Chain A
Amino acid sequence: GQQLNQSPQSMFIQEGEDVSMNCTSSSIFNTWLWYKQDPGEGPVLLIALYKAGELTSNGRLTAQFGITRKDSFLNISASIPSDVGIYFCAGQGGLMDSNYQLIWGAGTKLIIKP
């Protein structure tokens, strides 16, 4: 079945640094989503991407839908303490019954060094 590889698994960074994470798929997706989960909370949607090559920003966050439709990237610029959390990518293959469920990455845990 479809699988998503999300990397890195965790990141230790200094406040103010830029952050990059990515997801790659074994198959093509039509939609990429990026979520953030704070401790003890449910995931919150950050950015949704619907077209290959699309680059979308949400404040200091920028995500891109890869041209091959098999990958996506999330960048966070000038990280701040509230960026701490787990970032998940999720992909959707299409709208047919067989492939419309979201496939989830394992998450990237972002930790900011004091």
Chain B
Amino acid sequence: DSGVTQTPKHLITATGQRVTLRCSPRSGDLSVYWYQQSLDQGLQFLIHYYNGEERAKGNILERFSAQQFPDLHSELNLSSLELGDSALYFCASSPRRESTEAFFGQGTRLTVV
């Protein structure tokens, strides 16, 4: 158990809908990272938050947004969903701004039908 909690574990939704994925980092970790992993693909970095502030953006679509709350949990919002958005979405946390030795949650498997 990495200490990073993601909910829900599975999500099935229709095209055009909006969903929210939630991540609770390890106790004391200030950094939260979101990644997307499509079937049999590597990890695509989406966005990084540190202590409530956005620090870096990767290949994140405009239909996607995220935020980190004062209690350090984070939410990834995906809207106007398309079939191609079906993927595993991982959250990772680390104690520092840098992403070295980030700890990953178990992921949310999103299926868009």
Known: A42-B2, A43-B104, A44-B104. A100 touches B43 (CB 8 A): no
Min CB distance B25 to A, Å, is 13
State in angstroms the CA–CA spacing of A110 and B48 once bound together.
30
- Which residues of B are found within 8 Å of A92, using beta-carbon distances? 98-100
> Is B84 in the interface zone, CB < 8 Å from A?
no
Decide: B104 and A42 in contact? CB cutoff 8 A. Answer: yes
> Is B28 in the interface zone, CB < 8 Å from A?
no
Contact flags (1/0) for B81-106 with A, using CB distance below 8 Å?
00000000010100001111111111
State in angstroms the CA–CA spacing of A21 and B43 once bound together.
18
State in angstroms the CA–CA spacing of A4 and B107 once bound together.
23
- Which residues of A are found within 8 Å of B100, using beta-carbon distances? 31, 33, 48, 92, 102
Report which residue of B42, B48, B109 has the largest number of chain A beta carbons within 10 angstroms of its beta carbon: B42
Q: Which positions 53-96 of chain A face chain B at CB distance < 8 Å?
A: 88, 92, 95
Decide: A100 and B107 in contact? CB cutoff 8 A. Answer: no
- Which residues of A are found within 8 Å of B92, using beta-carbon distances? 42
In-complex Cβ contact of A44 among B2, B55, B58, B109 (8 A): B2
- Which residues of A are found within 8 Å of B55, using beta-carbon distances? 97
> Is B56 in the interface zone, CB < 8 Å from A?
yes
Decide: B43 and A43 in contact? CB cutoff 8 A. Answer: yes
Known: A92-B100, A101-B58. A41 touches B43 (CB 8 A): no
State in angstroms the CA–CA spacing of A101 and B28 once bound together.
20
Min CB distance B102 to A, Å, is 7
> Is B45 in the interface zone, CB < 8 Å from A?
yes
The residue of chain A having its C-beta at the shortest distance from the C-beta of B2 within the complex is A42
Instruction: Kindly list the 10 A-B residue pairs having the minimum CB-CB distance in the complex, ordered from nearest.
Output: A42-B104, A106-B42, A100-B98, A102-B99, A104-B43, A43-B104, A42-B90, A42-B106, A104-B42, A107-B42
